Structure 1
């Protein structure tokens, strides 16, 4: 999939907000569960460290490969842990078991709104620094209640959280 980032001059008028597009089932829980292997919260977001990863039907090399993820830095959710294996899902819910060495704790998001505006600050009235096409993968930075700081293709800025997949609606990041 070819994705692009469009650079804009600073000072262009800001547009209206992003449309809602969030992963279901990843809302904050009252008592989050912890993974039996890592002790980390589950579900949780991670990204693909490798450029390709075999997605298996079960947590071992003996299980059949159902498909191959082929997008480095793609955000995924971990829903289960078993030894060195993690059950993951992508934004469409497709997934299976992947070896932990193919995953990274570096947080990324996928843009869920075409021509998503990046702003200089977390405010729609501030200048636009870039516009991101649907499907662009960006590095996730700080997040407030409604906005997250992104970095991709040499561009940085703030985008509305509701237009991103890979960050929970109530998640705050420093």
Structure 2
């Protein structure tokens, strides 16, 4: 019986086919994760992100966000880009890797909001929070939301604030 030698060059098509199949199989789970229905809430994951007029790096930058945790409403998805709306109503495109599904909110209005120990107007006052402060959003019920201000890794100031003083809770 004559043994046939396999030459490395003859393995090339099979290796390419295997590599392509593996790449395709690993891409499917990544695409499957990108099935969130719009609109939905997101928060900024970085201290600096460029908002653009279109979904691509060649489009003009219209705004530079410099606030990690800023709540944003995602209104459209296109490949690795998201059309978002910020608390002021400005719309533009951000790279999706700068967004997280972790819920945040921003204090609205002209005066400080009172952060309380319980979801009750008569509850102990813990902190006064200025308009424009961003924080992490917890559960909301009966017009009150659990709200935490500070870095996730560090100490947080937590309490309850009236839901109508926040942009970010509720349905997007």
TM-score by length of 2: 0.73
Structure 1 Cα separation of the partners of residues 58 and 33 of structure 2: 20
Distance 1:37 1:94, change over 3 A: farther
1:103 aligns with 2:105: no
Query: Considering only CA atoms, is the larger Rg found in Structure 1 or Structure 2?
Result: 2
Size of the aligned set, in residue pairs, is 135
Deviation at 1:46, TM superposition (A): 0.7
2:55 counterpart residue number: 59
Structure 2 Cα separation of the partners of residues 64 and 52 of structure 1: 16
Q: Is the 8 A contact 1:49 1:72 kept in 2?
A: yes
Distance 1:85 1:37, change over 3 A: farther
Deviation at 1:104, TM superposition (A): 1.2
1:146 counterpart residue number: 143
1:45 counterpart residue number: 41
1:22 counterpart residue number: none
1:163 counterpart residue number: 165
Looking at both structures, which has the greater relative contact order when contacts are Cα pairs under 8 Å and sequence separation is at least 6? 1
1:126 aligns with 2:123: yes
Unaligned runs of 5+ in 1: 1-35
Local SS of the residue matching 1:42: coil
Unaligned runs of 5+ in 2: 1-31, 151-155
Structure 2 Cα separation of the partners of residues 55 and 61 of structure 1: 10
TM-score by length of 1: 0.72
1:87 counterpart residue number: 83
- The RMSD of aligned alpha carbons is 1.8
